[in-house]
Amino acid sequence: MNPYHNFVAAFAQLVTQGKSLPLGGIPPHNKSRPAADAPAALIFSPHPDDECLIGGFALRLMREARWRVVNVAVTQGSNQDRQQPRLQELKNACGWLGFEVEQTAPNGLEKINPKTRTNDSRHWSEAVKIIAAILARHQPQAIFVPHEFDWNSTHIGTHFLVMDALKTLPPDFQCLVIETEYWAPLPTPNLMVASGVDDVADLLAALSFHVEEVRRNPYHLRMPAWLQDNVRRGAELVGGQGGAAPDFMFATLYRLRQWKNGCVGNVWRDGKQVSVTENPGDLIREAS
């Protein structure tokens, strides 16, 4: 008898059982929302659903530090027939979490990828102006954006779009730049933020509102395993090679830097790990 058989079988059974859980339509939270003049964090999402996948840190900033979180829908997907339905799914997901939604265009921006940046300067310049205007209007204390090697062409395009927009802003504009990972791991993360069971459950519930996407591929059911694996990776990538793993059950990895004086730079030398008992707002104050 293999003593680990039941352990592994339990994981498989949970995923199978999860397929019967509802997709969207979950009663809303009765929780207070941050004040209109609260500090703002912007999530620049390449696609609808990214706000849930990388949103562990943002959700904690909203709930524990009382920040406003605004999800900027950079694109609404490449399938034109799905762009308006995906927008509605996004609004449902963000509304359930308590995030705000800001569109970039009626159907989202198109052709946001490195090829466009190189070959179609006029289209790219117009998209940069839209993102720069959003940054200038909100004056965020922090922004979330995919890292430049995040494999998917729209994720990579979104990274360069936001960084190009930052370069057009006045020299005194500054904010924290929190790079995210999904399709490809961050090569040098410097921040691991733990999430509790309630937060992870809420992220999955919100992700389920992207009904047609998770019906096509039930990646929401595999998200807890990914968040657990992040603890393994983050223990050494963030905590240092050979370091002991912290007692986190779930976590998300990020690279936090600061945009200041027209360029991005490091704010600390060593990595940081934020447990579920620490207020993430304290980390932001330290970094700023």
CATH code: domain of residue 195: 3.40.50.10320
167 domain residue, yes or no: yes
∠ CA 121-144-40 to the nearest 5 degrees? 110
Domain of residue 111, residue span: 39-287
26 domain residue, yes or no: no
DSSP state of 75: B
Whole-model pTM over 0.95 = yes
22 domain residue, yes or no: no
The closest of 27, 25, 14, 71 to 221, measured between CA atoms, is 14
What local confidence, expressed as pLDDT, does residue 243 receive?
A: 81
The closest of 233, 273, 276 to 256, measured between CA atoms, is 273
E strands within 128-235? 142-146, 175-180, 191-195
211 domain residue, yes or no: yes
| Helix count and strand count (H, E) for the chain | 11, 9
25 domain residue, yes or no: no
Residue the block writes with tokens 């447990």: 275
pLDDT values of the chain reduced to their tens digit, one per residue, 288 residues = 899 999 999 999 999 999 999 999 999 887 788 999 999 999 999 999 999 999 999 999 999 999 999 999 999 999 999 999 999 999 999 999 999 999 999 999 999 999 999 999 999 999 999 999 999 999 999 999 999 999 999 999 999 999 999 999 999 999 999 999 999 999 999 999 999 999 999 999 999 999 999 999 999 999 999 999 999 999 999 999 998 889 999 999 999 999 999 999 999 989 999 999 999 999 999 888
> Could you tell me the two tokens for 15?
């995923």
7 domain residue, yes or no: no
Where b means 16+ CB within 10 Å and e means fewer, 53-63 reads bbbbbbbbbbb
Q: State pLDDT tens for residues 133-168.
A: 999 999 999 999 999 999 999 999 999 999 999 999
17 domain residue, yes or no: no
Counted domains in the chain: 1
Do residues 255 and 191 lie in contact, with contact meaning Cβ atoms separated by under 8 Å? yes
11 domain residue, yes or no: no
Per DSSP bridges, beta strands 142-146 and 68-73 are unpaired
Reduced to 3 states (helix: H, G, I; strand: E, B; else coil), residue 205 is: helix
What local confidence, expressed as pLDDT, does residue 106 receive?
A: 97
**Amino acid in position 126:** E
- The burial class, CB within 10 Å (0-12 / 13-18 / 19+), for 150 is buried
